Amino acid sequence: MSQDIDKTTAGAANPSRRRFLNTTALMGLGGAGLAAGITALPGGTRDAVAAPATNGGLNPHVNPGELDEYYGLWSGGHTGDFRVLGIPSGRELHRVPCFTPDALVGWGITNESKAIMGTKPDGSLQFTVGDTHHTHASYKDGNYDGRYAWINDKINSRIARIRLDYFVCDKITKLPNVMGFHGIFPDKRDPVDPAINYTTRVFCGGEFHIPTPNDGRDLDDPTKWQALFSCVDAETMEVRWQAKIDGNCDLVATSFDGKLAAANQYNTENGITFQDMMAAERDACVFFNVARIEQAVKDGKFTTIGDSKVPVVDCTRAANTDPKTALSAYVSVPKNPHGVNASPDGKYFICSGKLSPTATVIELEKVLQYFEGNVADIDDTIVAEVEIGLGPLHTAFDGRGNAYTTLFLDSQIVKWNVDAAIRFTAGDTSAQYVVDRLDVHYQPGHINASQSETMFADGKWLCVGCKFSKDRFLPVGPLHAENEQLIDISGEKMVLAHEAPVRPEPHDFIIFRRELLMPKQIYQHEDFPNAITDIANAGVTRDGNKVTVKMVTYAPTYDPLEFKVKVGDEVTLILTNLDRIEDLTHGLAIPDYNINFIVNPQETKSVTFKVEKPGVYWYYCTHFCHALHLEMRGRMLVEA
């Protein structure tokens, strides 16, 4: 089903641009140099770029002294971090290290962070790279409750939890027998107990097929390889259960009633080559009946894999043919779909076609009816499937019935009305579902709007993560920033308002009102069992070659200001920041010993290191704290 696009919008008004982008859309499989279809986009010289209009109904400019209205939680891609942006300014306010070391914070250096990250038997970090894609936050009654966010690491199949009171990572779990952990979404309430009106589970989609366990068996027999869908406990961060599935999980979505989780899936062919992965005309969005799966686990209807104790249920197509007992159901979606998003009215999941120019709208009440045996064909849950443009990926919502979908190949956002699309699909060809189109720069991936993934979508700001920035910023060499474009969606027409360069590569993000968070500004000594709360307890003790240095800091000095050790000692240095003033952070660096970390107000951290080099080592404060910050230093004297 198709519909003429609105000829009055920019993308449509410039058909040659659209045709150009499309012609090479799927090229690049055959050889080098033909790829990507973005060879000759207009622009390029730095002064020749035209300035679009900026003033819609909303003002994107945040004046000095004003605060952003929205928090944005952003993934950091293969930088491996979690980021906090202010919206509408697009300014990066914070980075939270989780999967990869951070030399500023001392993440991966302090004993406390190493315990969270995980170490090898020799004490070095188990993992030093990460690839974060999606971040989502905990819910209560259909809105964010400000407790936690979670973020995935695709490289090493880890999930990290971020505490939103202190904006720190406090737990990391590695999913067993999963490679290519991609989509992630918390549930929004319990599927059975209505009193549990908040997040208690996080669902994790596994992407790559691997032997189970992956110990060298079945190397040459991909038909025996498997991908798993995992459920992690939101509090303990332990894996509750896993499910064997067909296909590769892309994104994950959950229903507002807590009953359904879903993953859209490409490669339901279970192929390992491009050709195999793209063979089928339709792939799937697989729905999980959470209550049934957990009952099955309770009933002992599970297996385990290798050394893992995690119960594994069978959610493959073949094992779930009877809707009334099925743990899962596969709704068909056109070719290699990308993105599944829950509409804020709680009614629909929307999947994009990626290799099909369509969006598919699945009605959740009908999916529940399917599991009751009241819907004959699972594909009868599809209430709309309409053409929206080339390379559709992800969808956001404005709370006024409109969806906004990124079109990767068209380099556009399309605004379309969900009810009109349903009417159009039902046969009302007069239903104009495409409302507006807007060019973006360039090749957009994820998209999200203010409060979009809650029941309180407010339809003000839309952000779109453009994968290529090309000529939009001053050139800085071959590695380009990505371009997070901000769009005013408060009116009928979308208005491009601002663009923020970001270090590659944010994928997904959420945007919510600032009132939903009340972060703390200083720590409490009680949070740290090893805190040195009194200067009188600072000092050095020795037990054989093990030396403990209890140190405190208060601007602009350390106590003690000097300690003496010997080559061969193992030193544990515990540092408490006694300052109680907001923003008064201290650092401690020891030259040539690979030690630097910060202690925020009232925080305690520790490091343990072997003393290997004799000499005088001035430890000093790396985090500006006081007029005499430069003079703030002490001496580690190392005897040969």
Binding to a copy of itself, residues 355-374 (CB under 8 A)? 355
Write the CB contacts of 192 (distance below 8 Å, at least 6 apart in sequence).
291
- Closest contact distance (angstroms) between CB of 11 and a copy of itself is 15
Contact set for a copy of itself, span 579-638 (CB under 8 A): 579-585, 587, 589, 591-592, 594-596, 598, 600-601, 603, 614-618, 620, 622-628, 630-631, 633, 635, 637-638
d(CA 148, CA 326): 32
Host H or E run for residue 290: helix 290-298
User: Residues 8, 15, 35, 373: which binds a copy of itself (CB under 8 A)?
Assistant: 35
- Closest contact distance (angstroms) between CB of 314 and a copy of itself is 21
Contact set for a copy of itself, span 286-315 (CB under 8 A): none
Host H or E run for residue 604: strand 604-610
Of residues 351 and 383, the one with the C-beta less far from a copy of itself: 351
Contact set for a copy of itself, span 498-517 (CB under 8 A): 498-501, 503-505, 514, 517
Binding letters toward a copy of itself, positions 75-104, x by CB under 8 A: --xxxx---x-x---xxxxxx----xxxxx
User: Residues 175, 277, 315, 547: which binds a copy of itself (CB under 8 A)?
Assistant: 277
Beta strand 633-639 pairing with 562-566: parallel
Of residues 31 and 427, the one with the C-beta less far from a copy of itself: 31
- Closest contact distance (angstroms) between CB of 570 and a copy of itself is 18
**Tokens 């979670």 label which residue?**
150
Q: What is the largest CA-CA distance in the chain?
A: 87
User: Residues 66, 299, 526, 543: which binds a copy of itself (CB under 8 A)?
Assistant: 66
Amino acid identity, residue 547? Answer: V
- Closest contact distance (angstroms) between CB of 133 and a copy of itself is 10
Beta strand 604-610 pairing with 546-554: unpaired
Of residues 317 and 472, the one with the C-beta less far from a copy of itself: 472
User: Residues 18, 147, 188, 354: which binds a copy of itself (CB under 8 A)?
Assistant: 354
- Closest contact distance (angstroms) between CB of 176 and a copy of itself is 12
Of residues 142 and 180, the one with the C-beta less far from a copy of itself: 180
The conformation of residue 132, written as its DSSP 8-state character, comes to: B
Tokens found for residue 450? 């203010």
Binding letters toward a copy of itself, positions 113-152, x by CB under 8 A: -----------x--xxxxx---------------------
Of residues 93 and 192, the one with the C-beta less far from a copy of itself: 93
d(CA 459, CA 490): 6
User: Residues 3, 10, 20, 38: which binds a copy of itself (CB under 8 A)?
Assistant: 38
User: Residues 1, 2, 46, 301: which binds a copy of itself (CB under 8 A)?
Assistant: 46
> Do 187 and 199 touch, CB atoms closer than 8 A?
yes
Backbone angles phi, psi at 55, to 5 degrees: -100, 100
Of residues 458 and 488, the one with the C-beta less far from a copy of itself: 488
- Closest contact distance (angstroms) between CB of 571 and a copy of itself is 16
Q: What are 563's strand-pairing partners? A: 636
Count the residues of the shown chain that bind a copy of itself, applying the rule CB under 8 A: 169
Contact set for a copy of itself, span 416-455 (CB under 8 A): 441, 443, 445
Q: What is the DSSP string of 555-574?
A: TTEEESSEEEEETT-EEEEE
User: Residues 51, 318, 376, 536: which binds a copy of itself (CB under 8 A)?
Assistant: 51
Write the CB contacts of 91 (distance below 8 Å, at least 6 apart in sequence).
62, 68, 85, 500
The conformation of residue 224, written as its DSSP 8-state character, comes to: G
Contact set for a copy of itself, span 248-267 (CB under 8 A): 250, 266-267
Contact set for a copy of itself, span 148-187 (CB under 8 A): 154-157, 165-168, 179-180
- Closest contact distance (angstroms) between CB of 113 and a copy of itself is 13
> Do 471 and 46 touch, CB atoms closer than 8 A?
yes
Write the CB contacts of 289 (distance below 8 Å, at least 6 apart in sequence).
259, 260, 326, 327, 328, 329, 371
User: How many Å is the Cα radius of gyration of the chain?
Assistant: 27
User: Residues 1, 2, 14, 36: which binds a copy of itself (CB under 8 A)?
Assistant: 36
**Closest C-alpha among 444, 264, 445 to residue 349:** 264
- Closest contact distance (angstroms) between CB of 417 and a copy of itself is 26
- Closest contact distance (angstroms) between CB of 238 and a copy of itself is 21
Of residues 75 and 200, the one with the C-beta less far from a copy of itself: 75
d(CA 330, CA 312): 19
Q: What are 576's strand-pairing partners? A: 552, 604
Of residues 170 and 379, the one with the C-beta less far from a copy of itself: 170
Q: Kindly list the distances between the CA atom of residue 184 and the CA atoms of 140, 208, 551, in Å, as whole numbers in the listed order.
A: 18, 15, 41
The conformation of residue 102, written as its DSSP 8-state character, comes to: B
Tokens found for residue 173? 């779990």
- Closest contact distance (angstroms) between CB of 25 and a copy of itself is 6
Contact set for a copy of itself, span 190-209 (CB under 8 A): 208
Can you give the three-state secondary structure of 362-398, one letter per residue? EEHHHHHHHHCCCCCCHHHHEEEEEECCCCEEEEEEC
Of residues 163 and 233, the one with the C-beta less far from a copy of itself: 163
Contact set for a copy of itself, span 211-230 (CB under 8 A): 211, 214-216, 218-220, 225
Buried b (16+ CB within 10 A) or exposed e, 553-589: bbbbbbbeeebebeeebebbbbbbbbbeeeebbbbbb
Q: According to the binding rule CB under 8 A, does residue 478 interact with a copy of itself?
A: yes
Contact set for a copy of itself, span 536-565 (CB under 8 A): 552, 554-557, 561, 564
Q: Kindly list the distances between the CA atom of residue 318 and the CA atoms of 145, 244, 324, in Å, as whole numbers in the listed order.
A: 39, 11, 15
Amino acid identity, residue 200? Answer: T
Q: Is the peptide bond before 556 cis (omega within 30 degrees of 0)?
A: yes
